[in-house]
Amino acid sequence: MPINIFSFFSGAGFLDLGFELTNLYKVVYVNEFHRPFNHIYRFARANMGIEEPIYGHFIGDVAQVMETENIKAFKRLMSQSKAENLTGIIGGPPCPDFSVAGKNRGQHGENGKLSGTYVSIICQSKPDFFLFENVKGLYRTAKHRAFFETLKEQLSNAGYYLTDQLINSIEYGAPQDRERIILIGISKPLAGKLKIKSQKEFELKFNWESGKKYSRDVLTKPWPAQSAYSEKSITVMPDDVIEDLTVQYWWNKNNVLAHPNANMYFQPRAGITRFTSLDEGDVSKKCYKRLHRWRYSPTAAYGHNEVHIHPYLPRRISVAEALAIQSLPASFVIPNDVSLSDAFKTIGNGVPYLAAKGIAETIYKFFKENGYQD
């Protein structure tokens, strides 16, 4: 029987999809504040034949969940789910307030406060396990790390054993250099059933490497650097690159030119000079970055601060191409009635699908190796 998942800050559902498409988990509850993102979530999953969550969608601020009557109702749902099956909460609170490239306001920013609210929901509702995802700035920046440690202390006091790691999406086979801090916790009652008696024992037994496909050392390989831009050019893949970590591999794999989202991309507002002047592979600029077809992408972020340009066409990359860089199945489709801004924002915000899937498999393998019977 699949493990039940309550999802918060779901966005378009990349993290959820990574769990569900293992066939080991079932999303039963979804929270998202921004209605267009939830519309994408529902449309894409319906298109893939995935059932609606049995406890439905809550469209609203997570702070509303903590209101007296709402938290009582949520705790009842959690108790019902736990009585039927192993149950976890997963989510990645919005991260601009902890991002070096973002607002950097920390725990006091509007988005920063949501991390505290998410942890409070976990502590109040007491799932069997949880996953917390955020940007590396929460882990590496001193003032934000102090807040992260406070959150961990709160979770520990609420009865959870914890383990965390700064992962890179490329380790799981996604074609991008994108670091994220992942914090996983299991409740002490569940730990007892799994014969785990201490925080240290949990940290030792949780094998973060089991779901990874590559070492992050692949980033230091001699990847192609830059080459002169040539429109509609055809080049041969160099012998020494890892093909399935390249942008072009994923675009071919997902047949992006025939994808329903192939023609969804921003048109240049004033001329195309900047779309023809950058070399292929020049990602040195703060804003405009031209991807290299035979290399991984720097990230999948795509917004006001960073624009990804097609390697050999004079335009920005399309929604279909951005989805492929997020390692999503070709069957994931964004409806054409959402704005380009909403489409690209939710793609950039999402956890790369293969990273989500690898982490989901790692959690399940940990449960099985320590005596969990499904």
Backbone angles phi, psi at 183, to 5 degrees: -115, 125
H or E stretch covering 87: strand 87-91
Asked which of 151-160, 189-198, 294-303, 315-324 is least confident by mean pLDDT, the reply is: 294-303
Q: Parallel, antiparallel, or unpaired for β 25-32 and 3-8?
A: parallel
Say yes or no to pLDDT of 103 above 80: no
Please, which pLDDT band fits residue 98 given cuts at 50, 70 and 90?
very low
Q: Parallel, antiparallel, or unpaired for β 307-309 and 288-290?
A: parallel
- Residue 142's contacts (CB-CB under 8 Å, 6 or more residues apart) are none
Distance, in Å, from the CA atom of 65 to the CA atom of 120, rounded to the nearest integer, reads 10
Distance, in Å, from the CA atom of 68 to the CA atom of 147, rounded to the nearest integer, reads 26
Spatial contact of 275 and 323, defined as CB atoms under 8 Å apart: no
The residue with tokens 């793609």 is 347
Alpha helices in the chain (DSSP H): 14-20, 35-47, 62-65, 68-84, 112-125, 137-140, 142-157, 188-193, 199-205, 247-253, 273-277, 319-325, 340-349, 353-369
Say yes or no to pLDDT of 200 above 60: yes
Which residue from 47, 48, 45 is spatially nearest to 27, judged by alpha carbons?
45
The residue-averaged pLDDT of 324-353 equals: 96
Residue 108 CA, distance from chain mean position: 23
The residue with tokens 């498409």 is 21
Say yes or no to pLDDT of 15 above 90: yes
Active-site option among 95, 191, 256, 264:
95
Q: What is the mean pLDDT of the chain?
A: 92
Return the percentage of the chain with pLDDT > 70, whole number. Answer: 93
Per-residue model confidence (pLDDT) at position 136 = 86
Per-residue model confidence (pLDDT) at position 285 = 85
For the chain, the domains span 3-214+353-369
Q: Which residues pair with 168 in a beta bridge?
A: 179
Instruction: Give the type of residue at 141.
Output: T
**CATH architecture under which domain 3-214+353-369 falls:** 3-Layer(aba) Sandwich (3.40)
The residue-averaged pLDDT of 349-365 equals: 97
Please, which pLDDT band fits residue 302 given cuts at 50, 70 and 90?
low
Per-residue model confidence (pLDDT) at position 144 = 80
Q: Regarding predicted confidence, which is higher, 268 or 163?
A: 163
Distance, in Å, from the CA atom of 67 to the CA atom of 70, rounded to the nearest integer, reads 5
Distance, in Å, from the CA atom of 363 to the CA atom of 5, rounded to the nearest integer, reads 13
Instruction: Give the type of residue at 288.
Output: Y
Q: Parallel, antiparallel, or unpaired for β 129-135 and 87-91?
A: parallel
Structure token pair of residue 119: 């942890």
Distance, in Å, from the CA atom of 360 to the CA atom of 189, rounded to the nearest integer, reads 21
Per-residue model confidence (pLDDT) at position 267 = 85
Per-residue model confidence (pLDDT) at position 106 = 46
Active site annotation includes 287: no
pLDDT digits (tens, 9 = 90+) for 209-246: 999 999 999 999 999 999 999 999 999 999 999 999 99
